[in-house]
Every structure is written in C-alpha cells, then in structure tokens.
C-alpha cells in the first residue's frame, strides 16, 4: 500500500530585508473571500485541496481534495474527494462531494491534480496512488440521470514499464483523447508523458509518448501536458537537462520525438519548475520556476534572495531563447516560491500565485502586465495574513468573464484548506 506522506502546508524560510531593498512590485487592494473552508483529515466533505479548479458554464466550481471523504485509512485520514461548489441565490456557495475515493484495490486514492471537463459534463482526473496495482489511476466521473455521479477507472498505472505516480492534471483534445504525465516509472524510472484514447465498448488504451531520463533529458515532470493547435505537447521537468536544474520540452506530434527546448542553468533564469506551461497565440511558452532568478545590484547592501521566476520562451529560426519576465524576491514585499502555473486574461496579462512571501510570508496572488518595449510590471493583488487558515497557495488560478480569480489553498497548522475568490 502506497500512502501519501501527510503534508498540510509549506514551511518556508524567507529572508526579510525590506528595510534594505525595495521591490518594484505594486500592491493593489483586492478583496479575497473564502468561498468554502474544508474540515479535518477525516471530514466527509474533504480536506486539503492541492490543485486548481475548473468552472462550468453555469459558474459551478469543481476540484479535488487530497484527504478527507467518507473512506479512511486506519481512522487517521481519508483518501480524498472530488467536490463541486455551486453558487447559491443568497450569495453563498454550497459544497457537494461527487466522489469519495476508496482504497479497495480498484479505486484510486489521494488526488492532487486539477480536473478537466468535457463538453457533455464529464470530469477527468488522476490519483497519486491506488488502483489495481497501487501506482495511481486516471478516472472519469459522469453525471447520472436523476442525480449522483458514476466513477469509471480508465487506467491503473502498473510498474515496471508503465509510468506511475501521476500528480498533474490531464489535457483533453478535440477527439476525446487524454494526455498527462507521471513523475516516476517508464523505461528509465524518471517519468513519462502518456496518451489515453477511447475505443469501442468503453475501453481506453494507454500509449506512452515519451520516457524521460535518457542522455541529458529532463526527469520528473511534475507539471502536466499542454497541447498546441497542431497537437504538439509542451511541458516542464523539475530536474534533469544539461545542468540538472529542469527543462522545458516539446514532443512533436508528427514524429513522436521529444526535444528539450531549454535547460535551466542556475545562473539567473531560475530553476526547478514545478508546474506546466501555457502558450500564447504566437506560440511563445510561459511558465514559472520555483526557486532562483536574477540577482540584484544592491550597491553593498544586503540583497534579498531570488525566490523563483516567471519566464517566457520564444522561437526564432528554430532556436529557443529564454527571457525572465519577473524574479520574485524574499524581501517581505514581493511573493516568493511560485509552485503553480499561469493563466492569461484577454488583454495578455498573466496571473499566478506564490506559496510564500508577501508582507506576512503566507503567499500572494500576482499579476504581470506587459508594457511597451517588452518589459512587464508586477502587481500584488492579494497577500495572505497570519490570521486566516486559508493561505500558502500552491495551485494555479482560473478567471471568469468578469475578471474574478478563483483558487485553492491546501491548509496549514490551523486549518485544512479553502476555495477562495479574489475580486477586482
């Protein structure tokens, strides 16, 4: 039995030197509301959400919790849930558990990934463990006539040969195929990119598109797979590459070959990306690194530690170059340690979270706005304080049509996580 190590918050050591160095970040007052706060590890409604949300056309929010639910392990913690938050007429939100995972040798356990929603309302996701071989699963939840949801296990990962330990969410293409990553397993035990394709009779077929870990390749893809219009797949690895500091990769659909677009090198670019990437209309690639970045010239003063970056990869004549759009600083003002990916708005601004930093070192929501000439301006939209149990966000954000941001916090020593909204 593979049991996920209990983790209810991120312990961060930050260097607070606001008196010596000022960041260029702007702070703008926003309103943060906890739409729902989760209970303890055995709470039937779930506990400790780790991933981003997905929103349907009616405004309902769907997500996963790592713990809680109606099934438990030796009375200590639940195996996790899929939940729905529905807006109520009085302005509040109602939470419903769509599925409680059960370590019964079939079901998966402990989902820490976001869900994906298809056009008919089915939800797809991954679990870290469980399944027929206890190496994780891909599952589908389908709404039933008359109410309730039915779960189907589409794939149970199985070592050796197969990948295992999927921690990222899935991507759905127009033909109904699912794409994802595993952190472990594969030919070199360094993770995989896989595709699941539906066939007649409800059977799904898995195909491993790439085995990480060979000859300078990246290793451990914690982030998911992103598709472009041609079906090429982009993503990151947390380690490996030319400098063993992580990579950005592309899998070319026509040939099935993988190409390392960039190897992070610990010299100002940041390193160890935890999340996947997004693409703009021109094919440029954007993402975050969880540590490192460009050092500052402090003229003899004590400099704050670089604590992660937002980066852009652009292609010219077949070659890719990296540009750091922002370096986060552990200075008591800026956010630091961005573990999640990014989201665009219609104007081209980028939004994300940091799991630490801000005035109270409990994490932030930030916006990066492009300027004429190629520079970007960072604005801290919200910084968590130490008086709330919903803080230290590790997951990315989603946007609605009016610019409201939604996300999750995993919980800490005084709470068990929440779903939040940040409004302009």
Name all domains of the chain by residue range, CATH numbers in brackets.
Answer: 26-294+309-423 (2.130.10.10)
List of residues 6+ apart from 329 with CB closer than 8 A: 21, 23, 293, 296, 304, 305, 306, 307, 336
With a cut of 80, say whether residue 157 has pLDDT above it.
yes
> What is the structure's pLDDT at 419?
96
pLDDT of residue 15: 29
154: region left, alpha or beta (phi > 0 left; psi from -120 to 50 alpha): alpha
Average pLDDT over residues 276-294: 95
Q: Average pLDDT, stretch 359-369?
A: 93
Q: Are 60 and 78 in contact (CB under 8 A)?
A: no
Confidence (pLDDT) at 303: 75
Residue 9 has pLDDT above 90, yes or no: no
Question: pLDDT category, 297, cuts 50, 70, 90?
Answer: low
Structure tokens at 228: 């472009």
Which band of pLDDT confidence, cut at 50, 70 and 90, is reported for residue 424? confident
Task: State the pLDDT confidence band at 370, using cuts at 50, 70 and 90.
Answer: very high
Location of structure tokens 């939840």? 141
Query: 26-40, 77-91, 258-272: which range is least confident on average?
Result: 26-40
Residue 194 CB-half CA count within 13 A: 32
When pLDDT is averaged across residues 238-245 and rounded to a whole number, the result is: 96
Q: CA-to-CA distance for 367 and 299, rounded, in angstroms? A: 28
DSSP 215-278: TT-EE---S--EE-TT--EEEEESEETTTTS-EEEEE-TTT--EEEEEE--SSSS-B---S--E
Per the CB < 8 A criterion, the answer to whether 87 and 93 are in contact is: yes
**Average pLDDT score over the chain:** 89
Q: Over 90: is that where the pLDDT of 386 sits?
A: no
Q: Which letter does DSSP use for residue 115 in this model?
A: -
Q: What is the pTM of this model?
A: 0.91
Q: What is the pLDDT of residues 127-156, one digit of tens each?
A: 999 999 999 999 999 999 999 999 999 999
Q: What is the mean pLDDT of residues 367-395?
A: 87
Secondary element (H or E) of residue 201: none
The stretch 298-316 carries a mean pLDDT of: 83
Picking from 192, 274, 173, the residue whose alpha carbon sits closest to that of residue 232 is 173
- Whether the link from the prior residue into 160 is cis, omega within 30° of 0, is yes
Confidence of residue 392 (pLDDT cuts 50, 70, 90): confident
Span of 247-251, 275-279, 362-366, 382-386 with lowest mean pLDDT: 382-386
Q: Using pLDDT thresholds of 50, 70 and 90, give the confidence band for residue 29.
A: low
Residue 422's pLDDT is 95
Cα separation, 366 vs 227, whole angstroms: 25
Q: What are 96-133's pLDDT values in tens digits? A: 999 999 999 999 999 999 999 999 999 999 999 999 99
- CA gap 100, 82 in Å, rounded: 7
Contact 234/228 with Cβ under 8 angstroms? yes
Contact status, residue 307 vs residue 323, Cβ threshold 8 Å:
no
The predicted pLDDT at position 138 comes to: 98
pLDDT at 1 over 50: no
**Mean predicted confidence (pLDDT) in 359-368:** 92
How does residue 299 score in pLDDT terms, banded at 50, 70 and 90? low
Answer for the pair 297, 260: CB distance below 8 angstroms, yes or no: no
The confidence band for 389, taking pLDDT boundaries of 50, 70 and 90, is: low
* Pick from 224, 223, 192, 197: nearest CA to 209: 192
**What is the mean predicted confidence (pLDDT) over 67-73?**
91
pLDDT of residue 14: 31
């Amino acid at each position: 039995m593979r049991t996920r190590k209990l983790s209810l918050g991120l312990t961060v050591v930050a260097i607070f030197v606001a008196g010596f160095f000022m960041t260029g970040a702007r702070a703008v007052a926003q309103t943060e509301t906890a739409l729902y706060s989760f209970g303890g590890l055995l709470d039937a409604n779930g506990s400790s959400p780790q991933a981003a949300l997905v929103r349907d056309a009616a405004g309902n929010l769907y997500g996963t919790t790592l713990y809680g639910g109606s099934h438990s392990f030796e009375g200590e913690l639940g195996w996790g849930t899929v939940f729905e938050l529905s807006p109520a007429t009085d302005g509040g939100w109602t939470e419903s558990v769509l599925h409680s995972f059960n370590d019964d040798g079939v079901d998966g356990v402990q989902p820490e990934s976001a869900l994906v929603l298809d056009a008919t309302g089915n939800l797809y996701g991954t679990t870290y463990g469980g399944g027929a071989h206890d190496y994780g699963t891909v599952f589908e939840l389908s709404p039933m006539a008359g109410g309730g949801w039915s779960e189907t296990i589409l794939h149970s990962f199985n070592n050796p040969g197969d990948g295992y330990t999927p921690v990222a969410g899935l991507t759905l293409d127009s033909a109904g195929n699912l794409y994802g990553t595993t952190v472990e397993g594969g030919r070199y035990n360094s993770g995989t990119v896989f595709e699941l394709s539906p066939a007649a009779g409800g059977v799904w077929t898995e195909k491993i598109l790439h085995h990480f870990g060979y000859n300078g390749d990246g290793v451990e893809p914690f982030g998911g797979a992103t598709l472009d219009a041609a079906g090429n797949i982009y993503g990151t690895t947390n380690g490996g590459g030319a400098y063993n500091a992580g990579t950005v990769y592309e899998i070319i659909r026509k040939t099935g070959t993988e190409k390392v677009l960039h190897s992070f090198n610990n010299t100002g670019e940041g390193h160890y990306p935890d999340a996947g990437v997004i693409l703009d209309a021109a094919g440029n690639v954007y993402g975050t690194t969880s540590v490192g970045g460009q050092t500052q010239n402090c003229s003899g003063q004590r400099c704050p530690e670089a604590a992660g970056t937002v980066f852009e990869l652009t292609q010219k004549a077949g070659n890719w170059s990296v540009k750091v759009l922002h370096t986060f600083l552990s200075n008591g003002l800026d956010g630091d340690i961005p573990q999640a990916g990014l989201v665009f708005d219609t104007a081209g601004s980028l939004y994300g979270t940091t799991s630490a930093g801000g005035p109270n070192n409990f994490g932030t929501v930030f916006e990066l706005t492009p300027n004429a000439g190629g520079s970007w301006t960072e604005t801290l939209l919200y910084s968590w304080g130490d008086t709330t149990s919903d803080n230290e966000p590790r997951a990315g954000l989603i946007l609605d049509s009016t610019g409201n941001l939604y996300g999750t916090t995993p919980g800490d020593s005084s709470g068990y996580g929440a779903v939040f909204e940040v409004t302009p």
